[in-house]
Amino acid sequence: MKKAVICGVSYQEIEGDELDGCINDAKCMKYLLTTKFNFKESNILMLTDEKNEATICSAKIPTKYNIRKAMHWLIEDCKPGDSLVFFFAGHGTQEEDLDGDEIDGKDETICPSDFRIHGKIVDDEINRTIVRPLPSGVTLHAIVDSCHSGTVLDLPYLCRMNRHGNYEWEDHRPKTGVRKDTSGGQVFLFSGCDDHQNSSDGAELADDVITGAMTYSFFKSIEIGYGSTYGCLLNSMRTVIKDIDNPKSAGHLPRLFGKLKQRLLRSKYKQEPQLTSNMMFNVYKKPFTL
């Protein structure tokens, strides 16, 4: 079975926190999963704070309670052969690590729509909910387009890749010995940037369609055929991000988005998409699929 949780948070009711592209990110991810990777709509749980959705059903708003509930639903009764996806587009932050399980002394968080009232969801909880219980034979892919998201699943290994595509695995297992691994399953996280970086909400795919730069680079890389392996996909995503300010990189996405135009807005931040996993592997040999 294939199951997915897709969260797009625009923070429309919070002055100063509004994001333009996150709801579009969520819609595009649903489109990608259903058209490219054969996910059934009935097995996709969509949480956004789009005004019409909030009016229709409060259970579909990406509040802290609803995201927590959705994460539990995602792994509920999973069996060998299942493919799970967790997607989040919204704000991310860092805060002081209080239990000594971060090598940089900081926890990463995602921000639900009501985080100003009910708080953020910390990476420790995300790991505890959708990583550690994952049984053998089950695969989870997380795609998180937010600031400070590099290790937001608290996975043990980070693929440290340079501009030439060469890489080595960086060990993020805490000296305290706290367990961050699964119960036998495989987990992969593509994140918008490194833990100390910010992600841009600025890829304009059409005159009135804005997406996150990382989400755009993920779709673009798969569309142009660089999604064959994890290494090829990560390297391509980084290339697309670097080309944001290059007018020559503008083009069309005829197969995935029809005639939607690519026009990327200049980002005030530099970001490098990251790959983390619960295991080390050859990123250029392991095939990628959802």
Active site amino acids = 91, 147
What string of DSSP letters covers the chain?
-EEEEEEE---TTSTT---SSHHHHHHHHHHHHHHHS---GGGEEEEE--HHHHHH-GGGS--HHHHHHHHHHHHTT--TT-EEEEEEES-EEEEE-SSS--TTSEEEEE--TTHHHH--EEHHHHIIIIITTPBTT-EEEEEEESTT-TTTT--SEEEEE-TTS-EEEEE---TT----S-BB-EEEEEESS-TT------EEEETTEEE-HHHHHHHHHHHTT--SBHHHHHHHHHHHHHGGG-GGG--B-HHHHTTPBPEEPPPSS----EEEESS---TTTSBP--
